[in-house]
Structure 1
Amino acid sequence: MAVLKFRIYLEEDDAVYRDVMIKHTQSFKELHNGILKAFEFDNKHGATFFRSNDNWQRGREITLEKYNKPYQAEPLLMDKTTIGSEIRDTNQKFIYVYDFAKNWTFLIELIHVSKEENSKITYPATVRVEGIGPQQYGTKSLLGNKFMDIEEKYDLQNGTEGFGLEGEDVATNDSED
Structure 2
Amino acid sequence: MIYRFRVILDNDTEDDVFRDLEIRETDTMEDLHNIITQSFGFDGMEMASFYISDEQWNQGEEIAMFDMSEAGNEVKMMSTTLIKDVVHEASPKLIYVYDFLNMWTFFVELAEIVDEAVGTDYPNLMFVHGQIPDEAPEKMFNTDDSDSYGDYLDDDDIGVDDYEDLDFDENWN
TM-score scaled by length of structure 1: 0.69
Distance in 2 between residues matched to 1:103 and 1:72, nearest whole Å: 27
2:121 aligned residue: 122
Distance in 2 between residues matched to 1:62 and 1:86, nearest whole Å: 9
* Per-residue CA distance 1:41-94 (angstroms, 9 max, x = gap): 1111100000101111111111101126x7995320001000001124256000
Q: Could you tell me whether the CA contact under 8 Å between 2:30 and 2:78 is conserved in 1?
A: yes
- 2:111 maps to a residue whose letter is I
Report the alpha carbon displacement of residue 127 of structure 1 after superposing the two structures with TM. 0.2
Q: Does structure 1 residue 24 correspond to structure 2 residue 25?
A: yes
Q: Which has the larger radius of gyration?
A: 1
Report the alpha carbon displacement of residue 118 of structure 1 after superposing the two structures with TM. 2.0
2:2 aligned residue: 3
Comparing 84-93 with 51-60, greater Cα deviation is found at 84-93
1:47 aligned residue: 48
DSSP 3-state at the match of 1:32: helix
Q: Does structure 1 residue 75 correspond to structure 2 residue 75?
A: yes
Distance in 1 between residues matched to 2:71 and 2:98, nearest whole Å: 17
CA gap of 1:72–1:98, structure 2 versus 1, over 3 A, is: farther
DSSP 3-state at the match of 1:79: helix
TM-score scaled by length of structure 2: 0.71
Distance in 1 between residues matched to 2:122 and 2:40, nearest whole Å: 16
Q: Could you tell me whether the CA contact under 8 Å between 1:41 and 1:136 is conserved in 2?
A: no
Distance in 1 between residues matched to 2:87 and 2:71, nearest whole Å: 22
Distance in 1 between residues matched to 2:87 and 2:25, nearest whole Å: 9
Q: Could you tell me whether the CA contact under 8 Å between 2:88 and 2:110 is conserved in 1?
A: no
**Alignment size in residue pairs:** 134
RMSD: 2.2
Q: Percent identity?
A: 34
CA gap of 1:102–1:71, structure 2 versus 1, over 3 A, is: farther
Comparing 56-65 with 8-17, greater Cα deviation is found at 8-17
DSSP 3-state at the match of 1:60: strand
Correspondences of 1:140-151 after superposition (within 5 Å): none
Structure 2 gaps of 5+ residues are 137-173
